Amino acid sequence: MIPVTKPYLPSREKLDRYIDGIYERAWLTNNGPLVQELTQRLEAYLGVENLLLVGNGTLALQIAYRALNVSGDRPSEAITTPFTYVATASSLKWEGVEPVFVDIDPDTWCLDPANIEAAITSTTKVIVPVHVFGNACDVETIEAIACQHGLKVIYDGAHAFGVTYKGESLLKHGDATTLSFHATKLFHSIEGGAIIFKRKEDLERARRMTNFGLAAPEEITDVGINAKMSEFQAAMGLCVLDEIDENLKGREKAWHTYEAAFKSKVQLQYRNPSASCNYAYFPMMLKDQEKLFATLEHLRSKDISARRYFYPSLDIASYGKAVGAGISQDVASRIICLPIFYGLSENDQELIANSVIEIVVSSLGEGVL
């Protein structure tokens, strides 16, 4: 079976050298030298400052909400998208913040800024957009609305590792952007995540929060939890970062093979023309659910695994309230992602593309537009 994704496994010899160093130092966690090195190298690679590594991408969201005073004792709401992975909304709910879902753009599949202002109330504290499939949101419009209404902006950038916008890192936008380094992501540290803050003081507050609220061994200044990244996670991250260009090159080839095969045959995501593509996912939208199920079944018959993203639309999952999300419900019901990962052979790429065309065009007798 060809999987929909596959973790990138870097050089075992190089990983063993990092692990040998961990054994020699016997320093396994608590901001060890590998965590410090990975922080510095990621800031340089991504072109950002104020990056904080954490244990996973969901913790990244939760710490960002706390550090920016979005969550806490007072009632608060967050305007966000229903077309995203469940963690975007469940992390808000976990922190006592009510998600308010507004609809998405039918072409970009990102939160539509035109729907934000109508959803703002006296308890709205933050806008939480998602760079869906690594596609850059309309950051200027979103941030202008936030500025006008005195709101924070925290981007869920779980899919947006390495994406640039107008020549600079997309991750520099907002008061903070979070990243996921889960094993299936383009860049991973087995489990892990990061927050990139606009302001250094927010970074320092968040750093204390990830270490039980400690400013020093005998000085507690914040309410905190344990959200630290370990040295073993950092070792994997350093190895994956060493080989990131090779990983990207393999994904890029598959992405362009699919794009060439499906252009004008299926509806693809309209990508922000000012942003780069990191080739992390290849989503496509089918005409209706009947064609979606037929396509999934046809691919399974060829031992090809594809997956629905993101179904169901979160406005119907009892995580918050919705202010109109019909487009999200429609898009979520018709999207699948095709296999894309480093090491996917050209023969398998062609098999996948041809199998989709067989069912979408030939077997069903029509395209999906």
DSSP for 178-221 reads EEE--TTSSS--SS-EEEEESSHHHHHHHHHHHBTTEEETTEE-
Q: Which of 183, 201, 203, 202 is nearest to 193 (CA)?
A: 183
232 cis-preceded (ω within 30 degrees of 0): no
Query: Catalytic site residue 185?
Result: yes
CA distance 44 to 226: 26
Q: Is the pLDDT of residue 103 over 80?
A: yes
| Cβ atoms 166, 43 nearer than 8 A | no
Instruction: Read off the pLDDT of residues 104-121 as tens digits, 9 standing for 90 and up.
Output: 999 999 999 999 999 999
Mean pLDDT of 172-183: 98
Residue 368 pLDDT: 43
CA distance 139 to 256: 26
- Helix H segments across 243-288? 244-262
Token representation of residue 87: 């963690």
More reliable by pLDDT, 361 or 165: 165
Instruction: Read off the pLDDT of residues 323-346 as tens digits, 9 standing for 90 and up.
Output: 889 999 999 999 999 999 999 999
Crossing angle of helices 57-67 and 200-210, in 10° steps, is 120
Per the prediction, the chain carries an average pLDDT of 95
CA distance 175 to 148: 15
Active-site choice (125, 152, 185, 198): 185
Residue 364 pLDDT: 45
**Which residues are bridge partners to 76 per DSSP?**
97
Token representation of residue 348: 């398998």
Q: Is the pLDDT of residue 162 over 60?
A: yes
Mean pLDDT of 295-312: 96
**Which residues are bridge partners to 80 per DSSP?**
101, 128
Q: Is the pLDDT of residue 310 over 50?
A: yes
Instruction: Read off the pLDDT of residues 1-56 as tens digits, 9 standing for 90 and up.
Output: 999 999 999 999 999 999 999 999 999 999 999 999 999 999 999 999 999 999 99
Token representation of residue 342: 């480093």
Residue 129 pLDDT: 98
- Greatest extent of the chain over all pairs of C-alpha atoms, in Å: 71
Task: Output phi, psi for 227, to 5 deg.
Answer: -130, 20
Q: Is the pLDDT of residue 369 over 80?
A: no
Confidence at 264, pLDDT banded by 50, 70, 90: confident
Q: Which of 103, 69, 65, 64 is nearest to 84 (CA)?
A: 103
Which amino acid makes up residue 146? A
106 cis-preceded (ω within 30 degrees of 0): no
Sheet containing 307-308: give its strands across. 283-285, 335-337, 307-308
Count the residues in the chain.
Answer: 369
Confidence at 210, pLDDT banded by 50, 70, 90: very high
Token representation of residue 23: 């054994």
| Cβ atoms 313, 82 nearer than 8 A | yes
Residue labelled with tokens 């270490």 = 211
Domains and CATH numbers, the chain: 12-242 (3.40.640.10), 244-363 (3.90.1150.10)
Confidence at 204, pLDDT banded by 50, 70, 90: very high
Residue 321 pLDDT: 86
Confidence at 362, pLDDT banded by 50, 70, 90: low
Token representation of residue 83: 């077309």
Crossing angle of helices 12-25 and 33-46, in 10° steps, is 140
Q: Is the pLDDT of residue 366 over 70?
A: no
CA distance 155 to 32: 28
| Cβ atoms 14, 349 nearer than 8 A | no
